[in-house]
Amino acid sequence: MSQHLKTFHPPPFSSITPTTNSDALSLCCFGFGYRFGFHSSVPPLISVSCGCVNQTPPVPLCQQGSLQQDEPLSLYLQPISSEAHFDRVLHDTVVVVVWMANWCRKCIYLKPKLEKLAADYYPRLQFYSVDVNTVSHKLVARAGVTKMPTIQLWKDCKKQAEVIGGHKAYLVINEVQEMIENECTTVV
């Protein structure tokens, strides 16, 4: 049986060269969680994922190979882990809180799109995420969350608006953009 199994041995990292050619590789996954995404229309991305809470967000690379710090293409949604942390976050001027669950397929699919949206509004607006399975039910009930994913806009410690994302991702993103523009015209 073992003769039918093939082992994939990735090339050494020194032999991997970022490129923007369309015939170049589009995605490689390695056992250690490194993801290299190369796209022809945008600069390549590097994201390091170790499976822990403090993962690094995708970082754009310039064509010369140096890191580009000006405008991120995607931002990691900062996790909220407790009710006290939630209270501290709400003292920011305006925040968007994404309520999700690790078992929710729509949440998983929507998260990278919300990370791109967070980059569009950075640094004027902060995006946070709450995994409803890791915080107290009291906090979830306090926020009035009954379905996942739920995206809420908070201003001055009060919930201003929310979008429940149970439909197609592009529709949810459009609704979130409208919510932000309608509620934050003076801030954003």
- Strand order across the 126-131 sheet: 78-80, 126-131, 94-100, 150-155, 158-164
Catalytic residue among 29, 50, 107, 157: 107
- Cβ atoms of 149 and 99 closer than 8 Å: yes
Q: Note if 107 is an active site residue.
A: yes
CA distance 93 to 154: 8
Catalytic residue among 28, 50, 62, 104: 104
Neighbours of 163 (CB within 10 A): 22
How buried is residue 51: exposed, middle or buried, by Cβ count under 10 Å (0-12/13-18/19+)? exposed
CA distance 182 to 70: 27
- Whether the upstream peptide bond of residue 149 has omega within 30° of 0, thus cis, is yes
Catalytic residues: 104, 107
